[in-house]
Amino acid sequence: MTLYELLNSQKQYLIGKRAIIFDMDGTLIDSMQYWTNSIGEDLTEYSSFGEFMSEKYNTVIKPKEHAFEFLRLLRKSSIPVCIATDTPKWMSKGFFERYPELSSLIDFYIDCEDVGTSKRQSPRIYGAAAERLGFEKRECIVFEDHRHAVLAASADGFDVVGVYDQANAENAEIIKENSVDYINDFSEMMKG
């Protein structure tokens, strides 16, 4: 079954797409308020920001609404899926331990340390993810919530679906202008 047949048939841009590359933070999981520290936590008790974030992945960060439901649908239909994120594996390890199902719903996890650069500096991670999935750029769709990442992926030739996240709401128009679609949550991708 193709992505177009499986998902919301109003999403014409899915024709010819065979694999999905997901960002993690702000896209699949609700973590951006910690990355931006918009909740105003006292960071002085942590030896580093990485330690702060690791503790949040270990304890409070949760999946975004409908994200796992969407991933289950994709896995059930044998659609190749990966996470391509700037978050190093060591930092998000606690999230995967708290939600062990996630590992079974993706083919692999690739991070900025794997490709030697961040999404802000280079779109390299998307090409590496597509290559590892075994598909050309034109056969993949990228889901992203952040302006810099959307711009990087689309400039590199990927079709991007922008995903709403409160932390990036101020950039929604730029994200929409550089995406083939913009969704509030993953229920919009599934057949009604």
Average pLDDT of each block of 10 consecutive residues along the chain (192 residues)? 87 95 97 82 88 95 97 97 96 96 98 91 94 97 96 96 94 97 96 76
Two structure tokens written together for 79 = 């659609």
One-letter amino acid identity for 31?
Answer: S
Report domain extents, the chain. Answer: 3-189
pTM above 0.85, yes or no: yes
Cα distance between residue 93 and residue 175, in whole Å: 29
Q: How many residues appear in the chain? A: 192
Q: Does domain 3-189 have CATH number 3.30.420.590?
A: no
